[in-house]
């Protein structure tokens, strides 16, 4: 028997420590994960959601784009569908506006008020916005329409969480 | 604020902006048991999806009321009498009252209702996937939107 040989006792003790440690880790890891779970979760506000719209399909005319994502409401998870009005501005930049009227939360539409063409129009209290979302003075809305952060991945448009603006 | 339903947060919002909210939507659900139970549930699902969609579109001017339910086995006159009671309460606060149903019995009583009756035949959604369902409800709601906005413009 050479000097460096492992004795039966040593072999058993190494193996058992190894296996035991592995088992303990198996039990402790999920517990640790539960404890720090909120830290590991990505911030929902920073998530970008894919829309079915391709960037190449956009024109200078705002188009309605619906997109769906999961929302958790207490213990109940549901599919929520949101809408954005998306167009390309004169510089070719993609602009995505929230359709939620800043007055009381109705849904605005593009170019539906015959008396005021090429504006966003809220049918509830006749609020109006310019194409870039700027609220038109003399109509009820106190602020411009919220703006979605935009990303383009693989040709498709992704939208973040709509951000309020104080001026345009 | 994105919604106005019969839940505490939304009702609180409603009370703060009451002067801007002049419209109420009341779904009418006929409840049946036995053979027509399934059909009655399908109609309720269809009307729920539609009214939720309308509410989302017009939050800020309308409130979605809890459904008015009645037993289909009873004569419609009984439900009508009860609905009158609701109407009397609602008309104190709302200028425009819309009843949404897929029960055709109400069409015969349309003249007697003081609010606006919107009747739509129920479409079974069971066999559809989510995007088909969404598209169908969206198309149907677009037509309903104009019924409401027309009423509003009319009353200006």
ipTM value for the complex:
0.81
With bands split at pLDDT 50, 70 and 90, how would you rate the model's confidence at A46?
A: low
Kindly list the residues from chain A whose CB atom is less than 8 angstroms away from the CB atom of residue B58.
Answer: 106-107, 123-124
DSSP letter for A163, please.
B
**Are B50 and B124 contacting, i.e. CB atoms less than 8 angstroms apart?**
no
Within a domain: B130: yes
Using pLDDT thresholds of 50, 70 and 90, give the confidence band for residue B153. Answer: confident
In percent, the amount of chain B with pLDDT more than 70 equals 99
Which of B59, B134, B152 is the closest to A105 by Cβ? B59
Give A104's contacts in chain B (Cβ within 8 Å). 1, 17, 20, 59-61
Question: What confidence tier does A7 reach under pLDDT thresholds 50, 70, 90?
Answer: confident
Residue A150: both structure tokens together: 């935009």
Domain housing B68 = 8-154
Structure tokens at B36: 């027509």
pLDDT of residue A34: 73
Above 70 in pLDDT, residue B145? yes
Residue of A nearest to B16 (CA): A104
A107 touches chain B (CB under 8 A): yes
Closest-CA distance, B54 to chain A, in angstroms, reads: 10
pLDDT digits (tens, 9 = 90+) for B14-69: 998 899 999 999 999 999 998 999 999 999 999 999 999 999 999 999 999 999 99
Mark yes or no for CB contact B61/A103 under 8 Å.
Answer: no
**pLDDT band at residue A3 using 50, 70 and 90 as cut-offs:** low
The answer to whether position B1 is within a domain reads no
Structure confidence by residue, pLDDT tens digits, A92-116:
999 999 999 999 999 999 999 889 9
HSE on the CB side for B126, CA within 13 Å? 7
- Around B134, how many Cα atoms within 13 Å sit in the side-chain half-sphere? 11
Neighbouring residues of B155: CB distance < 8 A, sequence distance ≥ 6 = B95, B96
pLDDT above 70: residue A135:
yes
* Inter-residue contact B25 to B65 (CB < 8 Å): yes
Q: What confidence score (pLDDT) does residue A33 get?
A: 75
DSSP three-state, residue A166: coil
Q: Is A27 helix (H, G, I), strand (E, B) or coil?
A: helix
Number of helices (H), then strands (E), belonging to chain B: the values are: 4, 5
Q: What is the CATH number of the domain that holds B107?
A: 3.40.50
Tell me how far CA of residue A62 lies from CA of A141, B22, B65, in angstroms: 20, 30, 33
User: How many domains is chain B partitioned into structurally?
Assistant: 1
Pick among B58, B62, B132, B137 to test the A interface (most A CBs inside 10 A):
B58
Tell me the per-residue pLDDT of B94-113, one tens digit each, with 9 for 90 and over: 999 999 999 999 999 988 88
- Is B47 inside any structural domain? yes
**Got the DSSP string for A91-123?**
TS-EEEE--B-TTTS-B-EES--TTS-SSEEET
Minimal-distance CA residue of chain B relative to A125: B61
pLDDT category of residue A1 using cuts at 50, 70 and 90: low
pLDDT tens digit sequence for A62-78: 999 999 888 877 777 77
What per-residue string of b and e applies to A136-153 under the rule 16 or more CB within 10 Å gives b?
eeebbbebbbbbbebeee
Q: Is the pLDDT of residue B1 over 50?
A: no
Asked if residue A96 lies in contact with residue A157, where contact means CB atoms within 8 angstroms, the answer is: yes
Is pLDDT at A39 greater than 70 in this prediction?
no
**Cβ neighbour number for residue B25 with a 10 Å cutoff:** 25
């Amino acid at each position: 028997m050479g000097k460096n040989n492992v004795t039966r006792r040593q072999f058993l003790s190494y193996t058992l420590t190894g296996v035991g440690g592995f088992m303990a880790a198996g039990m402790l890891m999920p517990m640790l994960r539960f404890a720090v779970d909120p830290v590991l979760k990505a911030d929902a506000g920073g998530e970008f959601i894919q829309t079915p719209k391709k960037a190449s399909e956009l024109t200078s005319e705002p188009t309605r784009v619906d997109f769906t994502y999961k929302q958790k409401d207490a213990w109940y998870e549901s599919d929520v569908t949101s809408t954005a009005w998306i167009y390309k501005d004169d510089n070719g930049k993609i602009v995505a506006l929230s359709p939620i009227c800043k007055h009381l939360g109705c849904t605005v539409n593009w170019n539906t008020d015959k008396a005021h063409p090429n504006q966003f129009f809220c049918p509830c209290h006749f609020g109006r916005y310019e194409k870039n979302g700027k609220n038109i003075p003399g109509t009820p809305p106190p602020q411009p329409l919220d703006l979605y952060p935009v990303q383009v991945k693989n040709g498709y448009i992704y939208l973040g969480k709509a951000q309020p603006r104080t001026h345009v | 604020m994105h919604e106005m339903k019969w839940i505490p947060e939304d009702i609180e919002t409603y009370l703060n902006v009451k002067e801007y909210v002049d419209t109420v939507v009341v779904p009418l659900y006929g409840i049946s048991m036995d053979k027509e139970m399934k059909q009655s549930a399908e109609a309720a699902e269809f009307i729920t999806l539609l009214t939720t969609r309308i509410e989302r579109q017009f939050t800020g001017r309308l409130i979605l009321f809890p459904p008015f339910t009645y037993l289909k086995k009873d004569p419609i006159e009984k439900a009508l009498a009860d609905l009158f009671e609701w109407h009397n309460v609602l008309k104190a606060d709302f200028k425009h009252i819309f009843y949404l149903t897929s029960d055709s019995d109400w069409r015969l009583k349309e003249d007697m209702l003081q609010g606006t009756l919107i009747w739509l035949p129920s479409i079974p959604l069971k066999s559809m996937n989510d995007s088909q369902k969404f598209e169908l409800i969206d198309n149907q709601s677009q037509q309903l939107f104009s019924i409401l906005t027309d009423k509003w413009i009319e009353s200006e």
